[in-house]
Amino acid sequence: MNLDQIFSAGRTVFSLEIFPPKKTSSIDSVYTTIDELSQLKPDFISVTYGAGGTGAGSLTCKMASYIKEQGTESIAHLTCVNSTREEVLAALEDLKAHGVTNILALRGDKNPDIPPKEEFRYAYELIELIASQGGFHIAAACYPEGHPECGSLAQDVRHLKQKVDAGASHLISQLFFDNEDFYRFREMTAAAGIQVPIEAGIMPVTSRSQIERMVSMCGASIPKKLSRLLSRYGDDPLALTDVAIAYATDQIIDLIGAGVDGIHLYSMNNPAVARRIYENIKNALATGRS
């Protein structure tokens, strides 16, 4: 199913994100994760691009295809920073052959150990190529606090408009922890003429080291409230999990009340945490948007 149909239904979309296993892990464990997450009946599940190396994209395709076979729509991440045009076209053919027609088009993170290819410098160039092939729903990433490599949020919103003009028909935000940042961003995108649905990306903070790594990569800030909670409970995994679920629930309920187009929950391949959050928000989801 094209994701445009899901967003046109007039309700709050709920989606999840998972990632492929490490090279040393069995893919069977991820299939179990997919089966458990699918029981939450999300509108779709996104699959991140494999962590480099041969077969990274094919593993993403394999997982996205499996999700569809289990009855849930999927969207596959596709990056371009380390790809040639021919490699991207081959990946698109592979996705289409497996029935995967929804793509989250990303530049991808630069790896200091792998010199980037020169054919794609920005995500909008990848989006243009995908759009030229036809038959795909294209999503793009957005940053409520601005991309860490961009000079300002206003400049980043202008770059985001390029992605939409190139063919992106919905946006998924990077993680953020202060809803006011998202609301300010949403106002700026509207003023810039960006009218596609924007899903809010929410990540439950179940590990202090994990969130520190993610924040350093995406540039999200830690509000004082969350900082206090991390200081108090960061060394107690069970307590921190409870705190993470409560904090994410509070964010999501507020976002739904403000009419957000969708909630994209970064599950971190943890079905138990995702389920607890879903149980907390399912009734609010049912009444969101109109």
Instruction: Please write down the long-range contacts of 272-279, taking CB distance under 8 Å and 24 or more positions apart.
Output: 273/204, 273/206, 273/241, 273/244, 273/245, 274/16, 274/37, 274/40, 275/36, 275/39, 275/40, 276/245, 277/204, 277/245, 277/248, 277/249, 277/252, 278/14, 278/40
Structural tokens at position 111: 């790896």
Consecutive H or E run containing 233: helix 224-233
Of 17, 73, 128, 145, which one is the catalytic site residue? 17
CB atoms within 10 A of CB 30: 20
Helix extents (H) in 70-120? 85-97
Contact present, 201 and 266 (Cβ < 8 Å): yes
Is residue 17 flagged as an active site residue? yes
In whole angstroms, give the CA distance from residue 211 to residue 189.
26
Catalytic residue numbers, as ranges: 17
